[in-house]
Structure 1
Amino acid sequence: MERSDNMKNKNIKDLIALVLLIFFIIGVHSVYKTKLVSSNDQKKVDNKSNVKFDKKNQTNIKKVSPVKDREFTGNNLKYNSESIPILYYHSIDYEKGNELRVPKGKFREQMKYLKDNGYTTLTLNELYNFLAYNKPVPNKSVVITLDDGYKDNYENAFPVLKEFGFKATVFMITSSINNEKDFLTSSELKQMDSYGMDIESHTVNHDKLDRLTYDKQIQTLKDSKEFLEKLLNKKIKYIAYPYGKWNESAIKALKTEGYSMAFTTAGGWANKDQGIYTLHRVYVSEKYGMNEFKRRLTNSNYENTNK
């Protein structure tokens, strides 16, 4: 009888232990499930936040009007018997002793002057139509260009240009894209293009065209053009000569490859008499103060001693 009671008590204890084990397993599973659900919920929240952020950025890009050729009418217009200043910059940053690098603060001051004084920044298409077809533009018209395609064009110049709603063009060395840390990347170029910044050719390797054979001129002009056209899904029609170097062979190669207009580093305002493939520009240096900037901007006959 005593043995039977002991067996009974042992069975009860085993049953209790089994029940407790089951409850323990259920408890652990519930805690794990709660944590898993919480983690997944947080991931969903994070993912939703990222989606919202991406959509917000995409919306901001779409809100910006694409570049369109404007038709200018009314009073205070000029025709292609007159000239237009084409400003040209390189790097928008600071480096002591480097006149090619215009600090962002100085660049903004210059852009603010243009805005405050009623200047219209033209696209290269609008400039071409003015020079080639005599389509009128506002009297206070200016073209903004940046040579080489430095990363600071995106980091420093781009925000200022957007702030004032200005058009501008970057002449890009295509071999530098995604390959050199101080130059623009393909994603940066795409974003700038989506906001209305014009990206055009500056050859493949910043080539001095006057030192190349005709075949090599054709090659660098073709390769840089095709690269940018594939990247940006648009036609590339314009170029700035690296170092301002060109010859008649280069102009022939430009025409063969479908370029419509080209820019030198010769100082002065641009006009049709210079020729559509040898247009002058107004150099902007770090060492110039606002008075010199205004003089070059407002005086088509300024004496240019720095190119």
Structure 2
Amino acid sequence: MVRNFLFHRVNPERDKLWDPMDVALFERCIQYISKKYTVVLIEDIAFSDERFTKNKYATIMFDDGYKDNIQYAAPILKKYNCKASFYVVTDCIDNNIPTWTHVLDYSFQHTNVSEIDLSFDFLPDEFKVNNIPTAEKRIAYGSRLKPYLKKITHEKRGLVLDQIARSYNDIKVPELMMNWDDIKELSAAGHYIGSHTVTHCMLGTMSDETEIKHELLNSANRIQEKLGYFPLTISYPIGSYNDTTKRLSKELGYKIGLAVNQNIYDPAIEDLFEISRIELYNEPWWKTRLRISNALENIKSLIKYK
């Protein structure tokens, strides 16, 4: 049994649509986790028989590759002598452009454009708009749209994202990502660098195997070019995967596939290509602690099946 704790951004600045974990909360998490569990890398423990017999392992993971990972998170990891795995989106690193999910949030928060034609036939009526007149309404609309976009096909999502980018062309996307020197520094410090695809596509929603292979293979090849090894691990963006994702990941040379699933990883039930992770958020400590212990998910399960 292994508790895999997933983080994204760690930052003192707040965000209305996707709030980074506050630095003080992150340190409290790492202090608590390192005291309660033996912190290891999933790349070191995944193939060990000890994962079946020892119930005190935990891992620390980061998805995406944001600059605040090295600015704020890495010093805290060093303070508590913890190694972490960082799964990077290689195009985002190469071009210093955040993931599409962050760009989407940023666009709705910072544009001054009211007109936007989102009259796609496949969108529900609530999302078919041609004008969102105020900043407050744009933020509210964006908060509803993003979860829906995660449920539709890769192709349809792309059409909507392209239209939003064309309409909200008054914004300048912020430069928030690590560069390869940052990533090499993390690797030299003993952290592991793995793949989070080329462009942060939701692999489980993609139907074109050539495109899926591009996302999987080109990201790994870029890491190999920069760091000298083909990564063991693919972290599926937004936890999206299916049997095709798993098969192609294996065929292309990965050894580990990371989902989310908000649960403890049990090797007796899950295979190495759908490893569960527990994502932690910027929440009150009592709620974060319930997530760490997995009590929150157990409570939800009891309520669901009551």
**8 Å CA contact 1:99, 1:286 repeated in 2:** no
Shift of 1:263: 1.1
Alignment deviations for residues 60-81 of structure 1 (CA, whole Å, 9 cap, x no partner)? xxxxxxxxxxxxxxxxxxxxxx
Q: Show CA shifts across 1:219-270 (max 9, x none).
A: 1111000100111112301011111111111111101111111111211111
Alignment of 1:101-140 (within 5 A): 101-115=20-34, 117-130=35-48, 133-134=49-50, 139-140=55-56
CA contact 1:145–1:170 (8 Å) conserved in 2: yes
1:143 and 1:196 mapped to 2: Cα distance?
Answer: 14
The yes-or-no answer on 1:205 pairing with 2:199 is yes
TM-score, normalising length: structure 2:
0.67
1:222 matched to 2:141? The reply is no
Partner-residue secondary structure (3-state), 1:286: coil
Map 1:72-221 to 2 at 5 A: 83-93=1-11, 94-115=13-34, 117-130=35-48, 133-134=49-50, 139-180=55-96, 181-212=175-206, 213-221=208-216
Partner of 2:272: 276
Mark the CA change 1:179 to 1:208 in structure 2 (over 3 Å): closer, same or farther. Answer: same
User: Is the 8 Å Cα contact of residues 43 and 232 (structure 2) preserved in structure 1?
Assistant: no
Q: Distance in 1 between matches of 2:78 and 2:90?
A: 24
State how many pairs are aligned.
219
Q: Where does the alignment leave 5 or more consecutive residues of structure 2 unmatched? A: 97-174, 302-306
Q: Which residues of 2 match residues 13-32 of structure 1 at below 5 A?
A: none
Q: Quick check: which has more Rg, 1 or 2? A: 1
1:267 touches 1:281 (CA, 8 Å); kept in 2?
yes
- 2:277 is paired with a residue whose SS is strand
Correspondence for 1:296: 291
Q: Name the counterpart of 2:162.
A: none
| Rounded Cα–Cα distance in structure 2 between residues aligned with 1:296 and 1:108 | 16
The AA in structure 2 aligned to 1:219 is: H
Aligned equivalents of 1:140, 1:265: Cα separation in 2: 19
Paired with 1:137 and 1:126, the residues of 2 have a C-alpha distance of 15
For the Cα contact (< 8 Å) 2:2–2:264, is it kept in 1? Answer: yes
**Root-mean-square deviation (Å):** 2.0
Residue 292 of structure 1, CA deviation: 2.2
**SS of equivalent to 1:282:** strand
Q: Structure 1 runs of 4+ off > 6 angstroms?
A: none
Percent identity over the alignment? 21
- Structure 2 residue identity aligned to 1:221: L
> Can you give the 5+ residue segments of structure 1 that lack an aligned partner in the other structure?
1-82
Whole-Å separation in 2 of the counterparts to 1:112 and 1:138? 21
Q: Return the letter of the residue paired with 2:282.
A: E
* Larger relative contact order, structure 1 or 2 (CA cutoff 8 Å, min sep 6): 2
TM-score, normalised to structure 1, is 0.67
Partner of 1:51: none
**Cα distance in 1 between the residues matched to 2:183 and 2:22:** 21
